[in-house]
Chain A
Amino acid sequence: MKERKGLIFGSVILIVVFIIMFIKGEPSKNIMVWIAAILTLSIYSFLYKDNVFYKFAEHLFVGVSVGYSVSVVWQNAFIRRVFDPLFITRTYIVDGKFSLYLFLAIVIPTLLGMLMVSIFTKKHGWLIRIPIAFVVGSYAGMGIAPSFQAYIFEQTQSTLYVTLSISSFIMIVGVITTLVYFFFSKEHKGFLGKTAGVGIWFIMVAFGASFGYTVMARISLLIGRMNFLLHDWLGVIK
């Protein structure tokens, strides 16, 4: 109970600081800045606990972002890729001749997309599997060839730049032991277990290091918001 009082006290101080600054500063006269500031503070209020302000901001955020992305998808998928080429620019007519190939390149994906709506019918609901199968198949193909290039080859190659140095030795040991940790088909006992153990040390050290490295970037984000509140909105800081 005592602790909660302390927390309330601390939060109240923060609020009072903002009120004082509000009186001392030159608050923005732009209504949009005010909206942005109120939404910002509403989100922060969630750090104390769930409340009306956060719920409001959250639902507004979801609503706005869906509306935004739907309007972008509308433009990118329907207008630019289906409606315009079919009816306005007519890309399938080349030099006055009808090209079936280009025509189908627009019509087939449109039909595939329309199959999505089959889910609303009881009888033909399974048809939705066709576009899903298409999308998954395409990217499974991508998952084989191009990702081979991007990950397996590049990573192996950069590991291979071996020189006679401690750093190089650590690098090689790190990569190999980490890979050994991901051996699934043998129990991690004996030599294999020890090597995998070294692998997990490397993994932990790496995670710790990148955690520590990221702190700075995350604090910067908060500094950015503070700058917005104190400079753009309240105008206390010139």
Chain B
Amino acid sequence: MRRQIPLLLTFLTGVAIIISFFIPHKPFNEVQDMLLDWTIIIAGFAMLLGIYSLLNKHITHIKRKDAGWGYSIILTSFFIGVFIVGIISAVRYKGYSLSPGSSLYYVYDYMVIPLSATMFSLLAFFIASAAYRAFRANKLNATLLLVAAVIVMLGRVPVVENAFFRFLTRFSDWFMFIPQMAAKRGIQIGVALGMFAMSLRIILGIERTYLQ
């Protein structure tokens, strides 16, 4: 029963969504939106487990004075602090906690955004180091990777304005539109079929690792 009930539920919800895709008549038209709305509420409760896991881990660290327990204090206190700020902002701005001027807005603007943008910008460095390592003409496949990358990169920044670079710019555009797009489409169709098969296996209860 501990297996059958969840598997049956998976089957029923899956089929309900598929049916609602084909039948626009009431009440089927509302099924999809309603079920997706429900998953948001469920995800909200799941967050409680996340918080428990996080606090449990770090409070244990602090209690045991493990290596780096000071950082656990930082993490926990910022978590609790920002959460309280968020709730206060939500109450003050009637649910729109991110309204300009709210405290949460400041936290977001001067902490979350710069930190995210900086992490994101690390890619400028990593894309260079990855290119250095990976683009070696040692095997045919790697050579193809290398040649295509070099052509497109040169096409992006015409260092000198002449006929050759103008051609290169247009060629690299073509390269993105045709051969690149071809492989991308092939992969994408494959992914869609793989997803289709996986979804079918899940709905039919063949694939059940996630319900261990």
Contacts and interface: CB of A to CB of B under 8 A. Distances in A.
Q: Does a CB–CB distance below 8 Å link A and B in the complex?
A: yes
Interface of A: 32-33, 35-37, 39-40, 43-44, 46-47, 55-82, 105, 108-110, 112-114, 116-117, 119-120, 126, 129-148, 150-152, 155-156, 158-159, 167, 170-179, 181-182, 199-216, 218-219, 221-222, 224-225, 228
A32 B106 contact: yes
Nearest to A115: B45
B123 A218 contact: yes
Nearest to B124: A222
A225 B118 contact: yes
Interface string B1-44: 01001110111111111100110000000001011111111111
Nearest to A146: B21
Contacts, number: 401
B210 to A, nearest CB: 6
B14 A137 contact: yes
The contact size tier of chain B is 35 or more
B141 A129 contact: no
Is chain B's interface secondary structure helix, strand, loop, or mixed overall? helix
A36 B153 CA distance: 32
Contacts of B203: 137, 140-141, 144
Contacts of A177: 186
Interface string B68-99: 10011011111111110111011000010100
Given A140-B10, A175-B182, A219 B90 contact: no
A208 B179 CA distance: 11
B80 A178 contact: no
Given A55-B71, A57-B115, A212-B152, 8 more contacts: A67-B86, A71-B87, A79-B95, A142-B32, A144-B199, A158-B185, A182-B190, A209-B176
